[in-house]
Amino acid sequence: MNNSLTIIGAGAWGSALAIALSDKFDTIYLITRDEQYSENIGSQHPALSKPFSPNIKIGSSYKVIQKSMAVLIATPSSSFLDVLKKIKDDINQIPLAWVSKGFDPDSGSLLHETFNQQLTSHYPCVISGPTFAAEIVEKKPAAIVVASIDKNTREFWSNIIQTKTLRAYTNSDIVGVQVGGSVKNVLAIAAGIANGLGFGANTQAALITRGLAEMTRLGVALGADKLTFQGLSGLGDLVLTCSDDLSRNRRFGKELAKDIPSEIALKNINATVEGFKALQLVLKLADKCKVEMPICEHVYKVTQGEITPKEAVTELLLRKPSDE
User: In this predicted model, what pLDDT tens digit does every residue of 205-242 receive, in sequence order?
Assistant: 999 999 999 999 999 999 999 999 999 999 999 999 99
Q: Helix, strand or coil for residue 124?
A: coil
Say how far apart CA 324 and CA 315 lie, in whole Å.
Answer: 18
User: CATH fold of 175-317, please?
Assistant: N-(1-d-carboxylethyl)-l-norvaline Dehydrogenase; domain 2 (1.10.1040)
Q: Per-residue pLDDT for 1 more than 70?
A: no
Q: What is the CATH number that goes with domain 4-172?
A: 3.40.50.720
Phi (first) and psi of residue 59, to 5 degrees: -170, 180
Alpha carbon of 259 to those of 140, 213, 262, 309, 323: distances in Å?
A: 36, 27, 9, 7, 32
Distance CA 261, CA 250 (A): 16
For range 302-316, the mean pLDDT: 95
User: Which residues pair with residue 127 across a beta bridge?
Assistant: 146
β-strand 126-128 against 142-147: which pairing, if any? Answer: antiparallel
Catalytic residues: 184
Please tell me the distance from the alpha carbon of residue 158 to that of residue 146, in angstroms, as a whole number.
Answer: 6
**What's the rounded Cα separation, in Å, for the pair 98 and 58?**
19
Q: What stretch(es) of the chain map to CATH 1.10.1040.10?
A: 175-317
Numbered ranges of CATH 3.40.50.720 in the chain: 4-172
Whole-model pTM: value is 0.94
Identify the band that residue 322 occupies on the pLDDT scale cut at 50, 70 and 90.
confident
Give the list of residues 6+ apart from residue 176 with CB closer than 8 angstroms, or none.
147, 219, 224, 225, 228, 229, 233, 234
